[in-house]
Amino acid sequence: MLPENIDVLIVGGGPTGLVASTVLTRAGRDVLTLDEQPEGHNASRAAAIQARTMEILQELGVADTLVDEGVVVPYFTFRNREKLLNGLRFADLDTRYPHVTTIQQWRTEEVLTENLHRLGGHITRGYRVTGLDETASGIDVHVDGPDGLETVRARFVVGADGTHSVVRESAGIEFVGGDYPQSFVLADAEFDEWPLRFDEVQNFFSPNGIVVSGPLPEGRRRVLFTWPEEVDDVDVALVQNVLDTRGPRGARVSRIAWGSQFHVHHRIAEHFRKGHIFLAGDAAHVHSPAGGQGMNLGIQDAYELGLVLAAALSPTPTVHLDTYEHRRRPIAASTVLLTNLMTTASVAENPVAMKIRDLAMNAIGHLPPARKQMALHMAELVA
């Protein structure tokens, strides 16, 4: 049975919900975090942890574990099949973590969950939120779980329940934006041969489409590419064909450990707060995987929101509830815009547009201040 009353009810036990729960638990607040998925059912896609996110995770006590287990990536490059167009060096940035850390999202969630348990918190799994009603005395959250239908009254609700957020829909908050016509395919691959640096994320532009590759633990590489049609199986032949026509010459795929195909949107919630209901992570914004920003944005949302709600629940509140939306929505809007521009440029098919894109990227690569500014945006170190 769930409690009848709670200070904060968080819907969603992914990285966003885990971080919000951690911040509130650490502050001694009364929090309940629900997730409809059983443990071990994560098939999500994120792998890149940016510098600003790692600073937050360090403050929460988990950064060292993730850096030790992940791959430290100091370089992020843009190329066509003929040459390097632009190379970003994170080592030049003023941060304790001058690099991207790549590690599968399931492991990031495990580390966050273990840390939450050490603090005395937990995720309550197997409970599906079906709707909510905000009243003068609180928010009634309707839940379907092992004991049937239940209702929990919360002072605050955090929707960290993803793109198809029940919290957002129940609150009547519009999710505005659009969709990309292309699908994306992900493959965690093993290679007999990779002709470029292992510790580098490489973005390849080609007339046949984009392909991005970055390192993972255990010597694997993640390969991401656009694909015009549905695929039955993400196999060695498909990934090898994409690399042969778009990627580095000489790459040889030996095995696909995991693969998936998905469609991408670019949308943002009109508001991140309605009354005592808040949105964070993919419930508040979604965008293309360009630059590896998605999970990072959600973790940063959750950290900020956790601090705001912890302060609001203190005996002498000193924070305005609008602070969260005022700080986080402009950052999310900027990220959605920039990743949309990057994606649109990356998938350009017109020869003139492709030429302009490559020339512009090459020009940035020859201007150190512009190159550093691009790296700062990628690392999410720009306020």
Q: What is the pLDDT of residue 165?
A: 98
Checking if the pLDDT of 31 tops 80, the result is yes
Tell whether the model's pLDDT for residue 42 goes beyond 70: no
Sign of dihedral through CA atoms 108, 111, 116, 119? Answer: negative
Cβ within 8 Å of residue 296, ≥6 positions away:
48, 49, 50, 52, 53, 380
pLDDT of amino acid 173: 98
SS (H, E, C) 344-362: HHHCCCCHHHHHHHHHHHH
User: What would the pLDDT profile of 252-305 be if each residue is shown by its tens digit?
Assistant: 999 999 999 998 889 999 999 999 999 999 999 999 887 778 899 999 999 999
Contact 20, 305 (CB under 8 A): yes
Is pLDDT of 92 > 90? no
pLDDT computed for residue 341 by the predictor: 83
CA distance 168 to 160: 9
Q: What is the per-residue burial (b if ≥16 Cβ within 10 Å, else e) of 94-120?
A: eeebbbbbbbbbebbbbbbbebbeebe
Residue 44 — very low, low, confident or very high, per pLDDT cuts 50/70/90? low
For residue 26, pLDDT over 60 is answered with: yes
* DSSP H stretches of helix in 136-260: 166-171, 236-246
Contact criterion met (CB below 8 Å) for 42 and 128: no
Question: How many Å from the N-terminal Cα to the C-terminal Cα in the chain?
Answer: 43
Domain boundaries, the chain: 5-43+104-174+270-346
State how far the Cα of 190 lies from the Cα of 236, in Å rounded to an integer.
10
Q: What is the pTM of this model?
A: 0.94
C-beta atoms surrounding 83 within 10 Å: 8
318 — pLDDT class (breaks 50, 70, 90): confident
Can you tell me the distance from the alpha carbon of 32 to that of 128, in angstroms, rounded to the nearest whole number? Answer: 13
**Predicted confidence (pLDDT) per residue in 133-176, tens digit:** 999 889 999 999 999 999 999 999 999 999 999 999 999 999 99
Residue 229 CA to residue 115 CA, distance in Å, equals 41
Query: Any idea which of 230-239, 253-262, 309-318, 339-348 has the lowest mean pLDDT?
Result: 339-348
Rounded Cα distance between 26 and 196, Å, is 43
> Cα separations (Å) of 116 from 15, 26, 66?
11, 9, 15
> How would residue 41 be classed by pLDDT, with cut points 50, 70 and 90?
low
343 forms bridges with which residues in the sheet? Answer: none
| Backbone region of residue 8 per phi and psi (left: phi > 0; alpha: psi in -120 to 50; beta: other values) | beta
Q: Is the dihedral of CA 146, 150, 154, 159 positive or negative?
A: positive
Interval 10-22: pLDDT, tens = 999 999 999 999 9
CATH code 3.50.50.60 for 5-43+104-174+270-346:
yes
User: Mean per-residue pLDDT for 20-40?
Assistant: 94
Predicted pLDDT at 242: 97
Residue 40 has pLDDT above 70, yes or no: no
Name the least confident of 4-8, 202-206, 239-243.
202-206
pLDDT single digits (tens) 237-264: 999 999 999 999 999 999 999 999 998 8
Q: What is the pLDDT of residues 50-70, one digit of tens each?
A: 999 999 999 999 999 999 999
Residue 34 has pLDDT above 60, yes or no: yes
**pLDDT above 90 for 82:** no
- What is the reported pLDDT for 383? 61
Distance CA 285, CA 340 (A): 12
Question: Does residue 348 surpass a pLDDT of 90?
Answer: no
* Region class of 315: left (phi > 0), else alpha (psi between -120 and 50), else beta: alpha
pLDDT at 50: 96
Report phi then psi at 379, rounded to 5.
Answer: -80, -5
pLDDT single digits (tens) 208-234:
889 999 999 999 999 999 998 899 999
